[in-house]
Structure 1
Amino acid sequence: MTWSYRGGEWFGVFGENAVVVLPPTEKARVAAVWELVDAGAGFDETLDALISSGLRDLPGFVLVSREGDETRVVLRGEAYAHFATGAGDDVVHVDGDSATTWVERTLTGVTRIHLEVSGEHAPEDLVLSRGLVRIASADWDEPGVDTDHDGHTQRGTPTPARPLPGIPGQPPAPPVTARPVARLVLPDGETVDVDRVVLVGRAPEVRAGTEGETRLVRVPSPHQEISSTHLEIRPGSGADHGSAVVTDLGSTNGTLLLQPGLPPEDLRAGVAAQLIPGAVVDLGDGVSIQVVAP
């Protein structure tokens, strides 16, 4: 299934058999949910995983799964879903906001799906079939059906999301910001401005066609403990606008984040963490990067 979406603050996890949307407060769950959904988990398995620790700790979520002609959806919290069904495009609205537990529906003959969560929408439509992205809304249309959602008609082809290394489907950072949001101090004392995507590793590589928008930073790794393209630091967007964010790109030995006043955090692959001045990003092998104000 190919979805179009608009960027926002919620986490959207899109897999072959299920789609999960989680609020910004649930960042700690995202990596595990992505691993499950990316492996092909369906409705029942994904729902069991989401509620395994109880609903009290999960203020909101959306789960949608399609199998054959059947579409199943569960909503909780500030989330809404709209489904067009049948030849007459009858619309079924499902609202999770007022539910004390959750709202669950099973529908047949669905031709369009519109999911919406609270928060501001980015102005541009992007597309993906699988991946982990930040969203405010998402739409699926049966092939051959014209789309009309969210009060406007979609014209032309949505702009494809540009996947970043190790983060399937994640939307791009701004190519270059007017001024840096942070400065990195490398082990040798060299400084690097974060005004665009910065890829750090033993031998970092960038996708063809984005060389001018990406800065590569090579760091030593005497024992080969640092991955070739280990992590990414970039200007944040949405709730992280104006700050730098760091994302481990599925490195072999992981990344440790040390921030003033906060406990040490082992970064989860593919999940961005906001950086504050004074933070230290430890890549292992004796290599650390300090984050300072620009």
Structure 2
Amino acid sequence: MTTVLKSYRPGSWYAVLGDHVTVLVPAAERHRVGALWELVDGGATRDEVLDTLVSGGLSSLSGVVLLGRRFDETQVIVRGAAVVVLTTRDGSVEEIDGAAAQTWVERSLGGVVSVSVRLDESEDDDRVISTGLVRVARVDVPPRQAEPEPEPEPEPEPEPEPEPEPEPEPQPEPEPEPEPEPEPEPEPEPGPEPEPQDVPTEMFAPVAPPPPAEPAARRAVAVLAFSSGEVIEVDRPILVGRAPEARRFALTEEPMLVTVLSRNQEISSTHLEIRPGTGVDEGHALVTDMGSTNGTVLVQPGQGPEDLQPGIPVRLMPGAVVDLGDGITLSVSATT
């Protein structure tokens, strides 16, 4: 299966990005995101995703962008405040505005080489992703290239300075008479050559290369204690679920997969992610709901229960408890 890279800018819309189907809905449709992620991540077709979107009636759907591909045709459905721009091999460009119809605008176009979905204004940098669940203001396939900085204008060349007038050449002085060459001294008779000394072989032995530097040990930022008995340190990304998959991660960032039992199927296949924080969150663990069907509940110390929003990371405090459903919880503690 070919993985298609995309780029996005962070924004308010939810983007469910799959290998075959991509669907985007505004923030008001947050309640649909979990079911859409289960469909797209499970390999559903465009028509199956469309059936789910309109199952409650078209009037209840405030906006959507649905992208699919059938053979050489790119299939697009746009509704609401969204614009999709398609560019074909021959250089033609078609712009599809979802606000131009009361229902939706649908197009099927062959030979498409790039797709740009524009939702909100955003000055953030573009980020590259293959599949996953993110909040976006714009999505481009293939990834959008950064605009080059303008070249500085060339400085004007300085005017050449006038060449100085040549100085008069001096008159040649008379050459002195050559001195007589001294007679050569007789060469001394050669003495006996010194005997060669044995050179220690160590001088010519190859120098052993220094041992490779050991990779820096990963520092754990928290410890997770699962109600099922497992205790895991958070020193890398951790995916938790019924059958977690790591398809959206790069080869250089291999996550740990933790499988939990869900007798009533309340826990999604890839339910949530816990990873070490970076930047202002460095030294802390972050938890993110991966668009689970039944959601995730977080209880921080001294606070009430909080439903995690899909795709939005939250810092975990020591003493926090995360409830995945089906009786599975995990407790967070600091490292010793």
Query: Does residue 272 of structure 1 match 2:328?
Result: no
Which amino acid is the alignment partner of residue 272 of structure 1? I
Q: CA deviation at 1:98?
A: 3.8
CA distance in 2, matches of 1:148, 1:111: 12
Runs of at least 5 residues in structure 2 that lack an aligned partner in the other structure: 150-214, 241-272, 279-284
Q: Which residue of 2 aligns with 1:104?
A: 106
AA at the equivalent of 1:57 = S
Q: Deviations over 1:45-92 (max 9, x none)?
A: 1111111112233211100111221011001111110011241x1110
Quote the residue 1:94 is aligned against.
96
- Give runs of aligned pairs for residues 26-37 of structure 1, distance below 5 A: 26-37=29-40
With the length of structure 1 as denominator, give the TM-score of the two structures.
0.58
Conservation of the 8 A alpha-carbon contact between 1:12 and 1:21 = yes
The amino acid of 2:28's aligned partner reads: T
Structure 1 residues 286 and 7: CA distance shift in structure 2, 3 A: closer
Q: Deviations over 1:204-237 (max 9, x none)?
A: xxxx99957xx6311444642788746538889x
Query: Helix, strand or coil for the counterpart of 1:6?
Result: strand
Partner of 1:191: none
Q: CA deviation at 1:28?
A: 2.4
Is 1:135 aligned to 2:175, yes or no? no
Q: Distance in 2 between matches of 1:51 and 1:153?
A: 39
Please, which of 274, 278, 300 is the counterpart of residue 232 of structure 1? 274
Number of residue equivalences: 217
What is the CA distance between 1:288 and its match in structure 2? 5.6
Cα–Cα, structure 1 residues 54 and 109, in superposed 2: closer, same or farther, change >3 Å?
Answer: same
CA distance in 1, matches of 2:53, 2:217: 36
| Shift in CA distance, 9/119, structure 1 to aligned 2, threshold 3 Å | farther
- Aligned partners of 1:210, 1:62: CA distance in 2, in Å? 44
- Equivalent of 1:54 in 35, 53, 57: 57
Does the 8 Å contact 2:78/2:98 carry over to 1? yes
Q: How does 1:202-221 map to 2 (within 5 A)?
A: 211=218, 216-221=221-226
Q: How does 1:1-294 map to 2 (within 5 A)?
A: 1-87=4-90, 89-123=91-125, 125-141=126-142, 153=147, 211=218, 216-221=221-226, 223-224=228-229, 229=238, 232=274, 246-248=287-289, 255-257=296-298, 265=307, 267=308, 271-272=311-312, 281-283=321-323
Q: What is the match of residue 179 of structure 1?
A: none
CA gap 1:133/1:154 in 2 versus in 1, 3 angstroms: farther
Gaps of 5+ in 1: 142-146, 156-207, 237-243
SS of the equivalent of 2:229 reads coil
> For residue 137 of structure 1, what is the amino acid of its counterpart?
R
- Whether the 8 Å contact between 1:258 and 1:281 is mirrored in structure 2 is yes
Partner of 2:50, secondary structure, is: helix
State the superposition RMSD in angstroms: 4.3
Larger Rg belongs to: 2
Q: Which has the higher strand share?
A: 1
Structure 1 residue 36: Cα displacement: 0.7
Q: For residue 222 of structure 2, give the secondary structure of its aligned residue in structure 1.
A: strand
Q: Could you tell me the TM-score, scaled by structure 2's length?
A: 0.52
Shift of 1:121: 4.2
SS in 2 for 1:71: strand
Percent identity, aligned pairs only, is 37
